[in-house]
Structure 1
């Protein structure tokens, strides 16, 4: 009896675990599709319905700021990025452009949303054979500096019969770069700190240089004039002999010893 109960319990476990697997397979065959399998001009709404672009609508895209972003595909972190969306109605019915949705996607898998921006509401009707232009602005986060991200811009609109459509205006990988033109507070602090340190080094070097090159007071030497007492080295050949001969001056007696001359 015990072996039969064990076999019965084992069979119930197998049956109970098979139901979730069957349900998952059925759900995969339904109308809901994975976003990774959705084409560029298709999207899935909140109800799970696949929405594509209208063949009577033409959408264009143009970066206006920063200049040259459309060529380099580089967006500056912390600065405003602006672009224009052109919408042309090629059909016979009115189109109402409701809003545009912009998001950053993981570059290796565009179905993974990195950042969603606030949708821009337009609610503008575009008559047949008419065109309209819509603008949008975003600021890339500085945390994305040096990273490539997928930028996806979608335009949501509907026709006169309230049939919804979605057209992808932009769907490419962009690079988020650092803003090197802005003189921010951090750069100013580093520059001022470097200038102060340089001035301090100059003052210290000037002080040390003045100590080592300071002049000692010179002692005044006393020179003694020797005169021309020694004449052994003098040359007197050019002087006439009459002038160089010594003449003895007559001895003068004292006035008392002089005898007065007799006068005749």
Structure 2
């Protein structure tokens, strides 16, 4: 009975460990924001006001997101990451960009917030009708965040005719890695698998080449004559009755 209770408690701890880690990361990130005036978190009171609101998207506004220096979308923990937000205005009038914000969530449940990232404000950033513009956004996840896959949700906040709107420009999975780690666990696995497959292919090709070379080295068959064998037989039969009969027959033919 004690073993069953212990096994049940151990299973509960294993299931609850990711949630405990998320809570720890949130508290660590909050402490870091409090100590360092906003490297992670909200910038300015006006940005705080907009970040707390939820607005709809204006019609005719298209966005695109690009990681210019990081096509693999690997985010080093504690280091700054840059992305570019492209905006195309086919709406109802001139668009004024106010801020860009982003947040990090668990991939299997977006209600589980891991970290609110920097809100970056823009001043006098207007996009006329039928025009395009690109806006940089720099953010950094907490250096205490455990490496793994997370969902990044990025939103651009703007206004048209003094009415605030927001559009999600990115909602996808990114991978957080340790600072200075060039390869993730998945990347190492893929590289190892590729090397193993290349080695097997090389061994197969080597075996085929060896078989082909053996076939080409085989020379034509040389027929061995019977003259040598007959001479040997004559030496063995010399002095025997069979040899004498053969010599007698040959004399009679002559």
With the shorter chain as reference, the TM-score category is 0.3 to 0.5
TM-score (norm 1): 0.46
Structure 2 length-normalised TM: 0.47
Hey, which of these two has a bigger chunk of helix by percent? 2
